[in-house]
Amino acid sequence: MSFSDADLFNNSHAVPPRRSFNSESNLRDLELRVNKLELIAEALWEILKKETHLQEADLIELISEIDLRDGKFDGKKAKTTAVRCVKCDRMNSKRHSKCLYCGEVFLLDPFE
């Protein structure tokens, strides 16, 4: 069997470009992580319902409130790029672990 120019342009046996493979692999990884987070969130909600008097309406109300904190009801939590120092009240980039003005150490938001 010989290898010809026609074989080079025959896509039926072409191996997907490496970038495509990585994208598909990354997408599968993301899907697995989202599924796992969905399970964890549901389990945590079941625990909360069992241990408190909270109901579905409370959860929905809080989800809407968090969603609207950036002024947009879009089903997403806004990512903040700046943090206000609790000690001197000045704004800093979230890239810094402490205030550039007074040195106060920032407490990190566990969800960002």
Closest separation in Å from C-beta 66 to Zn ion:
26
DSSP annotation of 18 reads: H
Q: Residue 39: helix, strand or coil by DSSP?
A: helix
Which of 41, 54, 102, 105 contacts Zn ion by CB under 5 A? 102
Minimum CB distance to Zn ion smaller for 41 or for 108: 108
The backbone torsions φ and ψ at residue 91, rounded to the nearest 5 degrees and listed phi first, read -85, 140
Q: CA separation (Å) from 10 to 4, 15, 17, 39, 63?
A: 10, 11, 14, 44, 51
Closest separation in Å from C-beta 104 to Zn ion:
5
Interacting positions 70-99 with Zn ion (CB under 5 A): 85, 87-88, 99
| Residues at the contact surface with Zn ion, assessed by CB under 5 A | 85, 87-88, 99, 101-102, 104
